Amino acid sequence: MTLENMYNKLMNYLTDEELWTDVGIATMKIIAIWLLSMVVVRVAKMAIKKFFHIRMTGPIALQPASERRHLTILRLLQSVISYVVYFSAIIAILSVMGIRVTGLLAGAGIVGLAVGFGAQSLVKDIITGFFIIFEDQFGVGDYIKITSTEGTVLEIGLRTTKIKGASGEINIIPNGLITEVVNYSINNSIAIIDVSIAYSSDIAKAEKLIEQYLKSLPAMNEDIVSEPTLLGVQNVVGAEVTLRISVETLPMKHFAISRMIRRDVKEIFDRNGIEIPYPKMMVYERDNNKAFEEGE
């Protein structure tokens, strides 16, 4: 076949009206399939979110644990919907392009069986993710610690878990690596506050002032579950006496409550002349051995 014949054959093929008609129809079908899949995913996610919203704000109030579980399942269902719809869309697009999907799936099944032996970690991730959700070990919004990673759970998938750290970083952990979890959000938290006063201060007066203040706290702050307790003198070291306070709060509210109590107790001590410990220096004069104190 001469070069001229090859050129004429190629031009006839490229200028074939039926060819371009089929390409245009296939392109329109692919665009329609993809747009339809996007609409289906969006509508399905909104419908699932609306259903869970109605359930969580219904006449029967949910317990915090139930609300956590609902949020976790909501995120999981939205993720599964996306996987299923987009996978179906890809299969439909391949069919439009003239690719035999049945043969492709059969070949993929054989290849998948071979690859499966080397994908044990993936299977482990999925199985572990299933049991995390089934056993409700932790949920979306919980503050947890996994080995060295600590933060708020953003999403639990069948393969990975996303955790937002204190400084805003996102940690993505394969579920198969989660072997031990500390969940701080299930039960109430306990805040332990140590307050130091000077050794020479009136301990009984300081304790009385603290107890009067603690009695008023539950009515002032709804995050406090029960009346805080002054445990008493915790330690005596050098020139300071440490008083310990214990307070039960709602989950993960103990940090804010601890800061508030320390601030208020300091102000109470200032108003009532209770001295807090601070470093002192003894200076001796060599001539007459006279000593005096200076606060730094």
78-105 confidence digits (pLDDT tens): 777 887 888 888 888 887 777 776 665 5
Instruction: Give the residue, 145 or 25, on which the prediction is more confident.
Output: 145
Instruction: Give the residue, 67 or 261, on which the prediction is more confident.
Output: 261
Give a three-class secondary structure readout of the chain.
CCHHHHHHHHHHHHCCHHHHHHHHHHHHHHHHHHHHHHHHHHHHHHHHHHHHHHHHCCCCCCCHHHHHHHHHHHHHHHHHHHHHHHHHHHHHHHHHCCCCHHHHHHHHHHHHHHHHCCCHHHHHHHHHHHHHHHCCCCCCCCEEEECCEEEEEEEECCCEEEEECCCCCEEEEEHHHCCCEEECCCCCEEEEEEEEEECCCCHHHHHHHHHHHHHHHHHHCCCECCCCEEEEEEEEECCEEEEEEEEEECCCCHHHHHHHHHHHHHHHHHHCCCCCCCCEEEEECCCCCCEEEEEC
Residue 10 pLDDT grade (very low, low, confident, very high; cuts 50, 70, 90): low
The pLDDT, as a whole number, for residue 23 is 75
Query: Mean pLDDT over residues 210-222, rounded?
Result: 87
Residue 237 pLDDT grade (very low, low, confident, very high; cuts 50, 70, 90): confident
Instruction: Give the residue, 31 or 135, on which the prediction is more confident.
Output: 31
Instruction: Give the residue, 82 or 246, on which the prediction is more confident.
Output: 246
Query: Poorest-confidence range of 101-110, 269-278, 284-293?
Result: 284-293
Domain boundaries, the chain: 3-118, 128-183, 189-280
Indicate the CATH number for domain 189-280: 3.30.70.100
Indicate the CATH number for domain 3-118: 1.10.287.1260
The pLDDT, as a whole number, for residue 106 is 59
The pLDDT, as a whole number, for residue 192 is 92
131-159 confidence digits (pLDDT tens): 887 777 888 888 889 888 888 888 887 78
The pLDDT, as a whole number, for residue 61 is 47
**pLDDT > 70? residue 57:** no
Right CATH for 128-183 from 2.30.30.60, 1.10.3080.10, 3.40.50.720, 2.30.42.10: 2.30.30.60
Tokens encoding 120: 């044990």
The pLDDT, as a whole number, for residue 295 is 46
**pLDDT > 90? residue 244:** yes
The pLDDT, as a whole number, for residue 296 is 45
